Amino acid sequence: MTTDINKRSTLKMLGAMTLTGAAAPFAAQAGSCDHSKVQWDDTYEVICVGSGFTGLAAAIEAKRKGARSVLVIEKMPYCGGNGVINAGQACFADTPLQKKLGIKDSAELMVNDQLKAGRGIASRELLEHNAKLGPYAFQMTKECGAVYLDFCQQPGGHSAPRSHQVVERSGAGIIRPMLAECERQGITVLTRTKFDDLLFDDAGHVIGVQVTKGHYHDRPALGKPAKLRAAKGVVMATGGFTQNIRLRMAQDPTLTEEVVSTNAPGATGDGLVAMMKAGANPVHLAHIQSGPWASPDEGGFGYAPNYAIFNFPHSIAIDLMTGRRFMSELADRKTRADAELQRRDAKGNPLPAILLTSKKHSSQNQHSLDNVLEAKVGWEFDSLEAVAKHFDIPLEPLKAQVKEWNGYVSAGKDTQFGKPMNLTKGKEMSAPYTVIRLWPKVHYCMGGVQINTKAEVIAAASGEPIPGLYAGGEVAGGVHGVSRLGGCSIPDCLAMGITAARSIMTA
């Protein structure tokens, strides 16, 4: 594996851009050239732009399908993007682990859950494609060296336990083995190599990429331009744009710089902008998801999400003003994030809710509990009185709510908010307690460029694929609709990376 140096650049404004006319003229504007006359710095059969789950899966699958030379480029000084900082939980349906645990699940059931969260605009075709590829993608990560815990969790919005988590409890537990596999397969990986633009021939076919090698964000003059030829195709795996405040505010003006993002600093939308400039059809850009498991007491992704995701099934979210629950703790992400954002004091200022859990239950995942306590984003209390005093919660309503909740646990039915109770049996709440605060963080862009089930990027003007251009993961829109279910990003990224490679190698 070869390593070079590069970092992200500040995203330039789109400027005047129209999405009318034929696809080829836009390609010409993006960087049209006669490849026979270009001085290429290097040539590869397949170039993957981005080193997260999509880019690495595409690279590995391309090699498996016979590609002689594959390149992965990454603008940051490290690989993985958001993949290395997430919770390492991936939802696959009908896997050997689920069967071993006696869990009944299917691709169809998973797709139905996703369609419900997508609120009518998710792509059934793409979701079905990804779900059916799930077991293969899961097995690919294991063959690369990923090791999973011997249980499955049930994130919010899912109707079965299908979240498979690596032992590291971080996406790095998948990214690192995939990078090691790239090295074993002779795949070239260049870091600090900033993607600048797509290069097209006069017929509108993608034939390569313009990059800056040795790029540093704070020292751009040090970088050197290079043209890299892709003889068979380019896979755009550049992720979302939650760190590009101007671009995200253009879609949702409420997502100002005051709203923190969980994403890596490189999530600035460079690849998305380049593809739209080249005529790709943008879809669902205004649907930007916030994570309801985040804590206002830590920056970035942090420790709270892993803790919260594990404990939501047997915990209750409490409004500090009322001492009462205000949502189903296992609703889909958008439902919970919207509900959490409504927690305000009498003057309308944010008043983050708390997630209340019995320590005997939270300690069943001792690793995540220790993390939040040591990072001081979690607390431990001996009584409800101590909880109420610390967070200034009315005590009697809080006591009544806990008693009411325990009744739901005993009965196996939540008549308050309809929360699924299949994972709460025998888990009545009692002292001592552990607590974290909840406040959403911008997490995922549902919107991106339109793709089909071959991972081909679709032109806005013609509705036809842009030849030689493929995309997957967060940079591709329309897959999840209004809201993505938790744990469904990794399988989406893997499936579309695999699909892109197969499409390129059979074209």
Cis amide linkage into residue 432, ω under 30° from 0: yes
The one-letter amino acid at 91: C
The catalytic site residues sit at 333
Q: Residue 211: which residues within 8 A CB-CB, separation 6 or more?
A: 6, 73, 193, 194, 195, 196, 225, 226, 227, 228
The token pair at 82 is 């958001």
List, in sequence order, every residue forming a beta bridge with 224; answer none if it has no partner: 213
What is the DSSP secondary structure assignment for residue 483, as one 8-state letter?
-
DSSP conformational letter for 13: P
CB burial of 484-494 (b: ≥16 within 10 Å; e: otherwise) equals bbbbbbbbbbb
Centre a 10 Å sphere on the Cβ of residue 199 and count the other Cβ atoms it contains.
25
For residue 291, the number of C-alpha atoms closer than 13 Å in the C-beta half-sphere is 27
Q: What is the rounded CA–CA span in Å between residue 453 and residue 222?
A: 40
d(CA 495, CA 193) in angstroms, rounded, equals 25
b vs e for 357-377, b when ≥16 Cβ sit within 10 Å of the residue's Cβ?
bbbebbeebeebbebbbeeeb
Pairing mode, if any, of strands 224-236 and 465-471? parallel
Q: How far is CA 30 from the centre of its chain?
A: 28
SS3 of 388-417? HHHHCCCHHHHHHHHHHHHHHHHHCCCCCC
Our CA angle for 134, 283, 90, nearest 5°, is 25
CB burial of residue 30 (10 Å; 0-12, 13-18, 19+): buried
- Whole-Å CA distances, 493 to 134, 165, 451: 10, 16, 13
Q: What are phi and psi of 340, to 5 degrees?
A: -65, -40
Q: What is the rounded CA–CA span in Å between residue 380 and residue 376? A: 10
